Amino acid sequence: GAFPVHGICGIFGTLAVGLWAVEGGLLHGGGVTLLGAQAVGVLAATAFVFPVSLLMFYIISKTIGLRVPEETEAIGLDLTYHGIESYPEFAGVELHGVRIAEYTGPASLKPAPVPSA
């Protein structure tokens, strides 16, 4: 998900500056000043982002909704929205009684018509 990739990695990267910065980093003899400043930055960003995200999720859930229909989710968004399989090695697999391959069609390789001038 988004939190492990952006949240945890972002926190680590921010704190890593306080640890490994050549000038002022804790591991280069700079003390905890820079690491403390980076930690305050992480806390400030979290204090802003968390409530704003909750508010946005609430608004979206009350308007357009956060989820796709259950059948669409079971079949996969790659097929239902884009018409392609993201993992073709699983073609022919049944999900909730529906064969994935039934939702794919042959690709049209015909050139698009060009209007004459």
Domain locations in the chain as residue ranges: 2-62, 70-103
**Phi, psi (deg, nearest 5) at residue 95:** -125, 115
- Residues 6 or more apart whose Cβ sits within 8 Å of residue 23: 30
Three-state secondary structure call for residue 99 = strand
| Residue pLDDT, tens place only, 6-40 | 999 999 999 999 999 999 999 999 999 999 999 99
Per-residue pLDDT reduced to its tens digit, 93-115: 666 666 655 545 555 667 778 88
Q: What integer pLDDT is reported at residue 96 of this predicted model?
A: 65
pLDDT in tens, 82-95: 887 777 666 666 66
- pTM here? 0.62
